[in-house]
Copies of this chain bind each other. A is one copy, B any other.
Amino acid sequence: MIDQVHSQLKKIFNGRFSTSESTRANYARGEDTYDPVLSQAVVFPETNEEVSQILKICNENKIPVVPFGTGTSLEGNAVGNSNGITISLEKMNKILSVNAEDFDCRVQANVTRKQLNEHLREDGVFFPIDPGADAALGGMASTSASGTMAVKYGTMRTVISGLTVVLPNGEIIKTGSRTKKTSAGYNLTNLFIGSEGTLGIITEVQVRLSPIPESIMSAVCYFPDLDSAVKTAQEVIQFGVPIARIEMLNKDQMEISIKYSKLDNVKASPTLFFEFHGSETTNNEAINIVEELSKNNNGSDFQWASSTEEQKKLWKARHDVYYSVKALGNNMKVYSTDVCVPISKLVECISWAEKEVNRLGLTAPMVGHVGDGNFHSIILYDPHDKEKQKKIRQYSDDLINKALELEGTITGEHGIGLQKKHYLLKEHMDNIPVMKAIKRSIDCNNIMNPGKVFDLN
Give me the interface of A with B, judged by CB distance under 8 Å. Answer: 99, 101-104, 143-146, 150, 154-155, 157-158, 167, 171-175, 177-188, 190-191, 193-195, 211, 238, 240, 242, 278-279, 281-282, 285, 338, 340-344, 372-374, 407-416, 420, 424, 427-428, 430-435, 437-438, 440-442, 453-454
Contact = CB atoms under 8 A, between A and B. Distances in A.
A210 to B, nearest CB: 8
Contacts of A414: 183
Given A373-B180, A440-B441, A186 B340 contact: no
Nearest to A423: B184
Contacts of A437: 441-442
Nearest to A75: B183
Nearest 5 A/B pairs, CB to CB: A211-B240, A441-B441, A190-B190, A182-B409, A144-B183
B282 A99 contact: no
A185 B424 contact: yes
A182 B412 contact: yes
A440 B185 CA distance: 15
Given A173-B430, A174-B430, A415 B101 contact: no
A431 B181 contact: no
A435 B179 contact: no
B185 A453 contact: yes
B428 A102 contact: no
A65 to B, nearest CB: 18
Given A99-B342, A180-B373, 6 more contacts: A102-B344, A173-B430, A184-B428, A185-B428, A281-B282, A438-B442
Contacts of A424: 184-185
Q: How many copies does the complex hold?
A: 2
Contacts of A190: 157, 187, 190-191
B179 A101 contact: no
Contact of A342 (B155, B171, B179, B373): B179
A452 B117 CA distance: 42
Contacts of A154: 158
B430 A184 contact: no
Contact of A180 (B150, B187, B454): B150
Contacts of A242: 278, 282
A160 B414 CA distance: 21
Given A102-B342, A150-B180, A342-B178, A434 B188 contact: yes
A238 B101 contact: yes
Contact of A285 (B158, B180, B281, B409): B281
B409 A179 contact: yes
9 contacts: A101-B238, A102-B344, A144-B183, A150-B181, A183-B411, A186-B435, A188-B431, A438-B441, A441-B441
Contacts of A99: 342, 344
A412 B183 contact: yes
A187 B181 contact: no
Given A187-B193, A424-B185, A438-B186, A180 B372 contact: yes
A17 to B, nearest CB: 28
Given A185-B424, A186-B195, A412 B179 contact: yes
A289 B174 CA distance: 38
B194 A183 contact: yes
B186 A191 contact: yes
A183 to B, nearest CB: 4
